[in-house]
Structures are given as C-alpha cells and as structure tokens.
Amino acid sequence: MLSVGVDLGGHTISAALIEREGEAVRMVSRSDRETPESRKLDKVVHVIAGMIGEVSQGRQISFVGIGIPGFLDKTRSKITRFTNFSGLENVCFAEHLSSALNRIGMSPSIAMENDANCSAIGEAFCGTAKECRDFVVLTLGTGIGSGIFVNSRLLIGAHGMAGESGHMTIGKGNISCGCGSKGHLETMASADYIERSARRQGLPPDFRLLWDMRDDKRADALISGALDALAGGIASLVVVLDPEKIILSGGMSKARGLAEEITVRTLDRLPVPLREHLKIEVSVLGADAALYGAASINMLER
C-alpha cells in the first residue's frame, strides 16, 4: 500500500511517499520545500499538492495524511487554532487539497492530525514505541508538543485537544504563550524560549551551542532552568499516565546526554514507586516520525 505523509511546518513543508507491505514500512521518496512566505491557503495548498505529485512519481496512492502544528477540532476536519497560519483556521483544509489533487489526476482519501500526534503514531508503527501500549512522545523544538498513546490508542480527548503538554502550567512562570495563556511549559523550556533568553543576556541564541558551553555559568543556568521545567512536566505526565516510556524528539533531543540528564532531574520529582519504571529515550526516527505517522493516520484504531 502506498500513502503520502505531509509535515506542514512554519518554515519547511516535508512530504514522503511511504510504502507498507505487511509489517515492513519504508520511505520511498521525500521532498522538502520552504513554506510559502505569505502562508495563504491557496499558496500552501498549491505547494503541498505539487509535492504530493512529485513524491508519488506517477504511482497511484490511496491515502494522504497531513501533520498540522495547531489545534484541530474533534472530527479532524478543521484547524481551530493555528498561530502561524491564521488564514488556514476554520476552513476545510482537506477539501481544498482534495480539489487541487483532483486537478492533477489524483484522488486519495485525506486526513489531518496534530503534528506531535503524528510523531507518536510514527513511533508506534515503526519507531521507538513499536512494542509499547502506553507512551508519550515529547517534541522539543521551537515549541513543545506531545502525542500520547493509552492502551494502544491515540489520546484525543473530549474536544480533540488532548496531549498538548507544552501548555501545562509549570511553576510560577508568567511569560505569555502563543496559545493565548501564560506560564506554560513551552514558555520555560522550548528552544525558542531558551534562545530568546540567551540573546537578551548576550549569549549565542542557539540551543546546541549553549548546550556545549555549560562551563559558562549563565549558559548553564539557562539550560538547567529549562531542564528543570521539562522534568517537572515529565514527572506530571508520568504520575497521571504511568507510561512505559517517554520518547524525546525534535531538534533539542539531539543534544548529547539530554535524556540522561532529564532522567536524573525527573526521578527527584516522582513518587518512589514510580521511579524504578521511569524510562526516557531519544527517538530513533527523529523528525521522520511525523512523516511516517502522517502517512499512517488511516491505520489508527479510533
């Protein structure tokens, strides 16, 4: 079976043709393009349709799944909150894409899912969570997202918005968050937050550089504060969900030793009986998990 996964990002759009034969899943081809500067509906749809045509290479595909970095309604037909693409909010995005694909002779079924949920689906089908029934994927990048599986099912919630762990309230932080509230984990531990704080202090605004200069007291204080906030968030997820694993993904997860350091900080915050079960791992699929996951949305048990 052939399907295409699309990852719609603020800076880059990625698309990949995924082939599935029984248990075996492989990426056949992929394409990455800059997100249109205007971020208008017709432009974004045009680019995505072109990329789907490009990666499909004239082969007939049955399904296209799209990972969206925003809040979706419960039926997954509309994007209800999409900070970086305001023109795409509350429109039936899949219908627009379907029309564009029809014009180039393609008629796959189309579905949308939150991008961090797509990462979790990818990890479940062919990544670090392949044998897991209960796990959490945390995507640590410009923002913080998460996808949660409970009993082998993606957690959606009553209104379709479960798993937004980046918007958990942590400590007494009062920094405004892109979601319209404040004091959220994302405003204390995301790469964006760390880099903006670094710039204000005259340090290099680059998470990886800061990670490598921990002998500088200011850099260490910045990183340590973010890791403490993250550990607090993970400890809260663990006591509520009791997962088999927490999987770290996204750009920050590539920092050497990150999982080990967060594990130490999280252990301190957990009730004793849960400590021996804490397992924090870095994704083996990395950013590709979202593409594999998007291409597999139609395989989910709902």
**By the criterion CB under 5 A, which residues form the site for Zn ion?**
167, 177, 179, 184
**Is the Cβ of residue 143 or residue 293 nearer to Zn ion in the bound state?**
143
Task: Name the β-bridge partners of 280.
Answer: 246
CB of 158 to Zn ion, least distance (A): 19
CB of 227 to Zn ion, least distance (A): 19
Residue 133 one-letter amino acid: R
Task: Name the β-bridge partners of 139.
Answer: 145, 249
CB of 70 to Zn ion, least distance (A): 12
CB of 164 to Zn ion, least distance (A): 8
**Is the Cβ of residue 111 or residue 179 nearer to Zn ion in the bound state?**
179
**Distance spanning both ends of the chain, measured CA to CA:** 20
Residues 51, 56, 62, 67, CA torsion sign: negative
CB of 226 to Zn ion, least distance (A): 16
DSSP 8-state assignment for residue 154: E
**Is the Cβ of residue 63 or residue 82 nearer to Zn ion in the bound state?**
82
**Is the Cβ of residue 81 or residue 153 nearer to Zn ion in the bound state?**
81
Q: Decide: helix, strand or coil at residue 192.
A: helix
Sheet containing strand 144-150, edge to edge, reads 153-154, 144-150, 135-140, 245-249, 280-282
Cβ neighbors of 260 (< 8 A, separation 6 or more) are: none
**Is the Cβ of residue 65 or residue 70 nearer to Zn ion in the bound state?**
70
